Amino acid sequence: MPQAAESGNASPFARHAPAAEVLGAHAASARTQSLGVMAIVWGLALIGGAAVVITLIVGVGLFMARGSLLPSAEDVVTDAPKHVTDTGFAKDVPLRAKGRGARTGTRGAGDKPTVPAAAPGPVTVIVPKGVFFQSVEVSCPGGVRARGAFSADRGGGLRATVRRVPSDRDCSLTFRGSIPASTTVRGHQTLQCTFEPTVCRPQQ
Query: What does the pLDDT look like over 188-203, one tens digit per residue?
Result: 999 999 988 889 999 8
Q: Which fold has domain 121-202?
A: Immunoglobulin-like (2.60.40)
**The predicted structure's pLDDT at residue 11:** 62
Residues for the chain: how many in total?
A: 204
**The predicted structure's pLDDT at residue 109:** 52
**The predicted structure's pLDDT at residue 156:** 85
Query: What does the pLDDT look like over 4-42, one tens digit per residue?
Result: 444 556 566 555 666 667 667 777 888 888 888 889 998
Pick the closest to residue 174 from 121, 123, 128, 129 (CA basis): 123
Domains of the chain, by residue range, sit at 18-66, 121-202
User: How far is the CA of 11 from the CAs of 3, 8, 17, 117, in angstroms?
Assistant: 14, 8, 10, 144
The Cα 90–Cα 186 span in angstroms is: 39
